[in-house]
Amino acid sequence: MKLTLFFALLCSLNIQAFAQQLSISGKITGENNKPVPFASVYIKNTTQGASANSEGAYQLQLKTGSYELQFKAVGYAQQSTIVKLTKNQIININLKTETYQLKDITIHAGGEDPAYAIVRKAIKKRKMYLNEVNAYTCDIYIKGLQKLLAAPKKFMGFDVQKATSEAGLDSSRTGIVYLSESESKYSYMRPDLVHEVQVSSKVSGYNRAFSFNRASDMQVNFYQNFESWKRLSNRPLVSPIAENALFYYNYKLIGVTIENGETINKIQVTPKRGYDPCFEGYIYILEDSWRLSGLQLFITKKANINYVDTLKISQQFYPVDNKVWMPATIKFEFTGGLLGFKLGGYFISVYKNYDLNPVLNKKDFEERINITKGHDKDSVYWAQERPIPLTDEEKKDYEVKGKLAAKRESKPYLDSLDKANNTFKLTNLLLTGIDTRNRYKKEYFHYNGLLPSLLYNTVEGLTINYGASYSKMIDTVNDRFLVVNARVRYGFSDHLLNGVAGVSISVNQMTLSFNGGSDVTDLNSLQPVSSIVNSVYTLFRRENFQKLYQKQFASASFFGRIYGGWQASATAEWANRKWLPNSSDYSFFHKTDRQFTSNNPLNPSQDLPLFPENQSFKISVRTSYDFSNRYETYPFGRRYLPSKYPTIGLSYTKGISGILGSDVSYDQLSADISKSDIDLGFYGQTSFFIGAGKFLNANKIYYPDYKQFDGNQLLVYKPTFNRFLLLDYYNFSTPDKYLEGHLEHNFSGFITNKIPLIRDLKLKEIIDVNYLYTPVLKNYTELGFGLQRGLVRVMYGVSYNSGSNIRNAVRVGISL
């Protein structure tokens, strides 16, 4: 009897399991039986549903029972059908193009289109809908696909044909280059807290990889005044129902239709000015409630977007309860091309299982995203769970690249790859250096190029400064790796041979380093002058800006994140420091009309020692905090997110006499506060840095111990928002108190985008203000104005001291 009951129970479980695997599938088409890509399929009065794929095919996994299915797509009339599911069924649906009837409204000549009245009501309700949900959770499926649509056979010597073939693309160099799916559990709490856990992912070609599809990246909310997509657009993109949208958009009522008892207004939106950061397309607004029910928008290169030629965004909403509508699907489509390459693709997210009254803990939101789990789901799981069926092309891509991935993980393949790439090339030896990699052992050797290792300065003359490094990933789980480096330096004029070596071990964002040897280094500890740039100026213009000294040293340092936004570092260093005189007077040009300055920046006409040879032992500690503990978790560890608040820092250095013969005795305390890229919406971003400090005592101190500043005296410089444009590198270093401040504002094209022809250059307007006070310098101020495109900016700077103009000059900044 018990055995009979056992078999009956087993059969019952099997029947239930079978029932859960029942499916409804089919194809959704429109006029002329053409597929309707990414149409939505939902069970009425639920948030359970799926989406068709790019070919209109859909599939729903359901238990036995009766369902009313709703098929809809933006621009098509919704269609419903009742299904009694007892076995797998195929239901093909043909959607009719939605017919929008104009209301019986008389528009007088020169009168306002009725769309404006509707949009004004939507704008009035904007804040209410923006804030109507205090918190929610949902499940999100995201699919991303990118295809190479065209490519040249070769590009700048690179064999594109070979690379695309090895990546699994066809002989015409076209095909899928990225295909990924992921499922996430998503939580939200006002005003801007999100937590996402990626529970499964699948990436074509990488069996052990995780998907970078992130629900937080797919979140758009047109109830916000604008969308800040900084990589796509230098300027925020204005929502069609923003507070000031009527200044940016024209509106036209296309008509109205009825769906599920709701009247929907279809409104065409177009920018008033072609150069404004605005969308084109259609928005769908519900009558009476004046909320969005869907949208079809796009933006093109006319609005000065980056990377792509056209970006389309489609969004559908559905009622989660009697009052609240939430996103059902969001889809981005893009096309773009450059230098013979053409790319296209899409990202689509499908939302389900909304809970508008979840029990959430604010502490859980310290982690913004976790994508470390659930990467071992098999094909059976995905066949049941994915709400968008794969196309035949996508199935083939998974199959082909799955085989390639298995092959790539084998030792013979990795060894063959290393053998092919670790070949000797004369250009590498001379310019970029030689790289030797052992992928299987996760080891990497780098030997510097010869030409970048050749320097020239008036202290050493022709100098070779050659180095090599070795790195090894020890543990990928704990992000543990080892780096060893060494460098030899020899001056052919002063005949000094120096060499340094170091080793560092990093584990989970904690780094311990040991360094030592003998080196010739910059008197300014911030090293504001590039050795290569100084070589060019010295040889070609007979100007020797860099001032050097010899340091024999041994040091140990630690840097790490203590907790959240709290970071700290500590360094102990012993050094023997020796000032060096000039030993070379050679240059290519200006031998008679210009003279080199001495290696003493405080006495440029005579090579008198700046300081006597001395020994120092000092300990430096620094701590900083940015008022944020938010982070993202990946398989390789945590990545902490920048805070919306400024970062404060505190530093202390003590020079201790008597230890290992140390001559120095001083205490220096400093504090700083900074924040970069403060978003000011349409007006760009602002960054600032304020620092102040004082030597509490300076019983015995030498020039290398002074507080140094990041000056600039050259035409070409590397811009940072806490660097001076025109300040001398060495003359204003101080052994006393100081106060410095830097403010940089980037208008992000707010002005230049309004100027015809100029707007096509995508220029950003930059304003710099820099200030420095020391007891000797008093009130030094710089004003800078310029334009930036990409990584290059041109600035005009003017400097003052207590109201008197010191100098003015043009500077070219290159961010590399």
The DSSP annotation for 276-287 comes to: SSB-EEEEEEET
Q: What is the pLDDT of residue 107?
A: 58
CA–CA distance, 281 with 623 (Å, rounded to integer):
51
**Across the chain, how many H-helices and E-strands are there?**
9, 44
Are 545 and 612 contained in the same domain?
Answer: yes
Phi-psi region of 153 (alpha: psi -120 to 50; beta: other; left: phi over 0): alpha
Rg of the chain's alpha carbons, rounded to an integer? 33
CA–CA distance, 628 with 324 (Å, rounded to integer):
32
92: Cβ contacts below 8 Å, ≥ 6 apart: 26, 27, 28, 29
CA–CA distance, 164 with 153 (Å, rounded to integer):
9
Asked which of 101-105, 414-418, 588-592, 722-726 is least confident by mean pLDDT, the reply is 101-105
CB 582 within 8 A of CB 597: no
* Packing angle of the helix pair 392-408, 411-421 (nearest 10 deg): 80
One-letter identity of residue 110: G
The DSSP annotation for 725-780 comes to: SS--SSTT-BSS-EEEEEEEEE-TTTTGGGSTTGGGG--EEEEEEEEEEETTTEEE
Angle at 786 between CA 781 and CA 788, to 5 degrees: 130
CB 782 within 8 A of CB 798: yes
Q: What is the pLDDT of residues 330-380, one digit of tens each?
A: 999 999 888 888 889 999 999 999 999 999 988 889 999 988 765 667 788
CA–CA distance, 467 with 479 (Å, rounded to integer):
25
Are 555 and 688 contained in the same domain?
Answer: no
Which residue among 408, 424, 445 closes a domain?
408
Within a domain: 810: yes
Return the top range by mean pLDDT from 44-53, 150-159, 730-739: 730-739
Are 78 and 137 contained in the same domain?
Answer: no
Q: What is the pLDDT of residue 3?
A: 32
Are 273 and 363 contained in the same domain?
Answer: yes
Within a domain: 486: no
CA–CA distance, 732 with 726 (Å, rounded to integer):
12
Q: What is the pairing mode between strands 193-203 and 461-475?
A: unpaired
Count of CB atoms within 10 A of residue 187's CB?
Answer: 19
Q: What is the pLDDT of residues 516-568, one digit of tens each?
A: 999 999 999 999 999 999 999 999 999 999 999 999 999 999 999 998 889 99
Q: What is the pLDDT of residues 780-802, one digit of tens each?
A: 999 999 999 988 999 999 999 98
CB 556 within 8 A of CB 570: no
Position 648 pLDDT exceeds 70? yes
Residue 604 structure tokens:
């440029």
DSSP 3-state assignment of 304? coil
CB 547 within 8 A of CB 704: no
Nearest CA among 315, 277, 311, 310 for reference residue 296:
315
CA–CA distance, 712 with 810 (Å, rounded to integer):
11
Within a domain: 601: yes
Within a domain: 35: yes
CA distances from 323 to 9, 223, 266, 606 (A): 43, 16, 21, 83
Phi-psi region of 307 (alpha: psi -120 to 50; beta: other; left: phi over 0): left
Position 18 pLDDT exceeds 50? no
Are 739 and 810 contained in the same domain?
Answer: yes
Give the CATH number for residue 65: 2.60.40.1120
Which residue among 621, 637, 663 closes a domain?
663
Phi-psi region of 620 (alpha: psi -120 to 50; beta: other; left: phi over 0): beta
440: Cβ contacts below 8 Å, ≥ 6 apart: 411, 414, 415, 418
CA–CA distance, 256 with 262 (Å, rounded to integer):
10
One-letter identity of residue 412: P
Please state the domain count of the chain.
4
Within a domain: 433: no
Are 130 and 81 contained in the same domain?
Answer: no
Q: What is the pLDDT of residue 75?
A: 83
CA–CA distance, 58 with 70 (Å, rounded to integer):
13
CB 24 within 8 A of CB 89: yes
Instruction: Give the mean pLDDT of 217-232.
Output: 86
Among the residues of 506-566, which ranges form H helices? 531-536
Nearest CA among 673, 675, 668 for reference residue 651:
668
Are 330 and 355 contained in the same domain?
Answer: yes
Are 656 and 698 contained in the same domain?
Answer: no
User: Would you place residue 206 in the very low, low, confident or very high pLDDT band (cuts 50, 70, 90)?
Assistant: low
CA–CA distance, 387 with 43 (Å, rounded to integer):
13
The partner residues of 68 in beta bridges, in order of sequence, read 82
Which residue among 373, 393, 408 closes a domain?
408
DSSP 3-state assignment of 4? helix
CB 224 within 8 A of CB 237: no
The DSSP annotation for 449-510 comes to: -TGGGEEEETTTEEEEEEEEEEEEEEETTTTEEEEEEEEEEEETTT--EEEEEEEEEEETTE
Residue with tokens 């769906």: 259
Within a domain: 105: no
CB 536 within 8 A of CB 574: no
Within a domain: 44: yes
Are 525 and 576 contained in the same domain?
Answer: yes
Are 639 and 691 contained in the same domain?
Answer: no
Are 699 and 743 contained in the same domain?
Answer: yes
Q: What is the pLDDT of residues 140-152, one digit of tens each?
A: 999 999 888 888 8
CA distances from 655 to 237, 426, 498, 572 (A): 53, 48, 25, 10
Q: What is the pLDDT of residues 107-165, one digit of tens each?
A: 556 678 999 999 999 999 999 999 999 999 999 999 999 888 888 888 877 778 877 77
406: Cβ contacts below 8 Å, ≥ 6 apart: 207
CB 628 within 8 A of CB 565: yes
Q: What is the DSSP letter of 107?
A: -
Domain residues for the domain of 529 are: 494-663
CA 603 to chain centre: 46
Within a domain: 111: no
Position 420 pLDDT exceeds 80? no
CB 394 within 8 A of CB 180: no
CB 646 within 8 A of CB 665: no
Are 632 and 705 contained in the same domain?
Answer: no
User: Would you place residue 441 in the very low, low, confident or very high pLDDT band (cuts 50, 70, 90)?
Assistant: confident
CA–CA distance, 174 with 196 (Å, rounded to integer):
34
DSSP 3-state assignment of 58? strand
